[in-house]
Amino acid sequence: MIIIKSEDELQAMREAGRLVAKTHAVVAAAVRPGITTASLDALAEEYILDHGALPAFKGYNGYPSTICVSVNKEVVHGIPGARTLDEGDIASIDIGVVLNGFYGDMARTYPVGKISTEAERLLCVTEKALAKGVAAAVVGNRLSDIGHAVQGFVEAHNLSVVRDFVGHGIGRSMHEAPQIPNFGRPGRGPRLKPGMVLAIEPMVNIGGWEVIVLSDNWTVVTADRSLSAHFEDTVAVTEEGPLILTQA
Ligand code: MF3
Ligand code: CO
């Protein structure tokens, strides 16, 4: 069952989303060659706690950190640590908070210094693929129209969409129904209704779509070791169209 949020609940989710976006801005400003991923995690955690919220990921299924930092061939769920970011890397940073009982979830892939034109293209296409998915989150569409829009755009640019991880409903839990694949045929699944809130999160690879999980049981990497990017927003379906909650 997909939970419909009231106006008051949407307002609370807006606040959670705003805080995630502001946390992203703080972390993004610190991304540079030489910084450790653990220090980005510490920055995010401090900012979230200072603003009356809690990190959503920390402790979730035993996840040890506030944010995920997934570098280059890493797709999602990279655990922050002593590793430094280097010039030319791309770093996918995923941040979730819970504020006044509501969750917000957002990811962006950031360039570290100057990156290759190939990497730039990957980031550009993935960000636009998220926009295509968001644009399909309109009243009267069906759920699979979102993934279909994402996949069509990505594959038109000769990149591939990860199949093994999906977006999700979000609200008083980080993961609610429905699951939102980033691929598929159009016109399937439930009709989108005002008050649904969806975390839409395409993960896009330069090579094949296949991924594997490393022996830390968290870090997901591309099977062919090609570069991967991840953009995610928390989006409300409204009569006036999709409303991105994760904005500062
Ligand atoms: N944005 C991811 C998600 O929607 C973050 C989960 S990381 C975890 O599932 F550590 F919390 F699992
Ligand atoms: Co998510």
Q: Among 70, 105, 180, 217, which is best to mutate for testing ligand 1, by the most ligand atoms less than 8 A from CB?
A: 105
**How do residues 59-103 score in pLDDT, each as one tens digit?**
999 999 999 999 999 999 999 999 999 999 999 999 999 999 999
Domains of the chain, CATH where assigned: 7-244 (3.90.230.10)
Ligand 1: residue of 20, 93, 94, 179 to mutate (most ligand atoms within 8 A of CB) is: 94
Per-residue pLDDT at 224:
99
**DSSP assignment string, 81-146:** -SPBP-TT-EEEEEEEEEETTEEEEEEEEEE-SS--HHHHHHHHHHHHHHHHHHHT--TTSBTHHH
What whole-number percentage of the chain has pLDDT above 90?
Answer: 100
pLDDT tens across 145-192, in order?
999 999 999 999 999 999 999 999 999 999 999 999 999 999 999 999
pTM, to two decimals: 0.98
The residue-averaged pLDDT of 112-136 equals 99
CA 199-128-187 angle, 5° bins: 60
Return the ligand number nearest the Cα of 65: 1
Residue with tokens 């989006």: 235
Q: How remote is the CA of residue 2 from the centroid of ligand 1, in Å?
A: 19
The total of other beta-carbon atoms located within 10 Å of residue 65's CB is 23
Q: What's phi and psi for 106, nearest 5 deg?
A: -155, 140
- Nearest atom in ligand 1 to the alpha carbon of residue 199 is 4
- Taking only the tens place, the pLDDT of each residue in 27-51 is 999 999 999 999 999 999 999 999 9
> For the purposes of burial, counting CB atoms within 10 Å of the CB of 111, is it exposed (0-12), middle (13-18) or buried (19 or more)?
middle
Which atom, in ligand 1's list, is nearest to the CA of 77?
A: 7
